[in-house]
Structure 1
Amino acid sequence: MKIILADDHALFCHGFSLLLQQHAPDVQCFIACSFDEAMALLESHPDTDLLMLDLNMPGMRGITSVQAVLRAHPGLPLSILSGEESRGQMEALLRAGASGYIPKALPSPVMISAIRLMLAGGVYVPPQVLERESGALAEQPDRRAGGVDRRADSGVRPEPYVAVQLSPRQQDILRLLAEGKPNKLICRELDLSEGTVKTHLNAIFRVLGVENRTEAAVKARLAGLLG
């Protein structure tokens, strides 16, 4: 497997490379010092399995850069690295399509687990985003679904409308999605075809008023839908 790590802090890159050698020797890591260097590496290695971008390195323009990369390389897992731990910033980048947000202060074992999760097709959502309190996601009005304009409550209890609209099978899929499991593992655990799982996921996104797996996982936790 291949990872591109783009960060202008040489000490962090060195430490990260050593960490991978110790705990994930099967992963090959390429280092870039700027956003432009990362893009050049990505062109040279189109089979890259995970792109990790420092939020504040030269050439990086936050959400704009994330969206540009994902438009040019749809399906590529992209993770943000940062020394900042602003909950609002994390949520915004995850909504933009990032597969994870890794604070640099994370303990090494947690960081390795997060990387393995993303390499397996999952989404790493930092604990700060999953805190059960009124936050940016909980305060936003839901998109219309079934002709009803619904608003999230305090983020602790699910709304009856959502609970009624999700079938038991969809609740199972939502739970596995929130655990970061990719479609193939969900299919295997629930003995469903990939087409069936995708159909259920589309229905779940409509009911929750979200557009992707990351938003669904975050909103499900904030709304207390995962038990």
Structure 2
Amino acid sequence: MRILVADDHDLVRETIAAYLNGTEIEEVQTVATLDEALQVVEETGSFDLVLLDYNMPGMNGLDGLTRMQAANAGRPVAILSGSATREIADAALKAGAQGFIPKTLSARSLLSAARFMAAGETYVPLEFLQQQPADKGGPLTRRELEVLRGICEGKANKEIARDLDLQEVTVKLHVKTLSRKLEARNRTHAAMIARDRGLA
């Protein structure tokens, strides 16, 4: 397995590379910018997995992900981040990222995630997916409002997921967050509150 790690922080880059130097991983290359990453792929061929730091030079949000996906011949490309939000993770996955890796992941988890993604599976840590905004009753995100509209239209999670091009488990998490923010007992109650407040 060949892996390319692109991150502009020397220590982070070298630590991740050290984590990944396992028995079945023949090669781990590291670079500091998106341009360097694209150049390495062009010179040495596609990698089984490319890990891109979300905030490094040249990334320009998720544009860098799209550029690397094309350069890496459609093979797995994942996003690394130390500070990104759930919304950014969702957007990355929607844009075709193979996974979303917080830099706080342990060595063992990172190695498992790399194997998983190289095999074509999508990886996001469960605890990251379960992150909830700290403020109860806080403002609803754009995605939460879209899910809420689906609930108000009487759609099941599966239908909402299909409409919004999301995983069903992601919709379930949005419903849970919505219910807490709206202080709703269930979906029907959430829909009633939404209509009363003119949210959907």
Q: Provide the TM-score with structure 2 as the length reference.
A: 0.69
Within 1, Cα distance between the matches of 2:53 and 2:174? Answer: 30
Contact 2:41 2:71 in 1 (8 A): no
Q: For 1:83-94, what aligned pairs fall within 5 Å after superposition?
A: 83-94=82-93
Q: Kindly indicate whether residue 159 of structure 2 is the aligned counterpart of residue 140 of structure 1.
A: no
* AA of the residue aligned to 1:216: Q
Deviations 1:135-168 (A, max 9, x none): 66443259xxxxxxx7047xxxxx66566x8xxx
Residues 222 and 8 of structure 1, relative CA distance in 2, 3 Å threshold: same
SS of residue matched to 2:28: strand
Aligned residue in 2 for 1:208: 162
Distance in 2 between the 1:138 and 1:93 partners?
17
- 1:123 and 2:102 correspond: no
What's the offset of the Cα at 1:74? Answer: 5.1
Larger radius of gyration: 2
Q: Any conservation in 1 of the 2:51–2:78 contact (CA below 8 Å)?
A: yes
Tell me, in whole angstroms, the C-alpha distance in 2 between the residues paired with 1:94 and 1:207.
Answer: 14
**Are the aligned partners of 1:139 and 1:152 in contact in 2 as well (CA < 8 Å)?**
no
Counterpart AA for 2:112 = S
Match in the other structure for 2:15: 15
Question: Cα 1:137–1:48, aligned 2, differ >3 Å: closer, same or farther?
Answer: same
* Structure-2 change in CA distance of 1:27 and 1:217 (3 Å): farther
Q: Shift of the alpha carbon at 1:85?
A: 3.8
CA distance in 2, matches of 1:137, 1:218: 14
Q: For residue 5 of structure 2, give the secondary structure of its aligned residue in structure 1.
A: strand
Q: 1:124-203 counterparts in 2 under 5 A?
A: 124-131=123-130, 137-141=143-147, 151-152=150-151, 161=156
Please state whether the residue corresponding to 2:150 is helix, strand or coil. coil
- AA partner of residue 167 (structure 2): A
User: Is the CA contact (8 Å cut-off) linking 1:7 and 1:53 kept in structure 2?
Assistant: yes
2:147/2:171 contact within 8 Å kept? no
Residues 28 and 72 (structure 1), Cα distance of their counterparts in 2 relative to 1, 3 Å cut: closer
**Distance in 1 of aligned mates of 2:157 and 2:168:** 14
Q: Is the 8 A contact 2:5 2:17 kept in 1?
A: no
Q: 1:161 to 1:20 in 2, by over 3 A?
A: closer
1:77-122 Cα offsets, whole Å, 9 max, x none, are 1111111141111111111111111110112211111111101110
49 and 152 in structure 1: CA distance in 2 versus 1, 3 angstrom threshold: farther
Structure 1 unaligned residues grouped into runs of 5+:
143-149, 154-158, 166-205
Instruction: Assess if the C-alpha contact under 8 Å between 1:19 and 1:108 holds in 2.
Output: yes
Q: Which position in structure 2 is the counterpart of 1:80?
A: 79
Distance 1:223 1:55 in 2: 23
Alignment of 1:20-99 (within 5 A): 20-21=20-21, 23-73=22-72, 75-99=74-98
8 A Cα contact 1:54 1:81, kept in partner:
yes
Question: Is the 1:49–1:119 contact (alpha carbons within 8 Å) kept by the matching residues of 2?
Answer: yes
**TM-score by structure 1 length?**
0.62
- Tell me how many residue pairs correspond in the alignment: 167
Identity %: 32
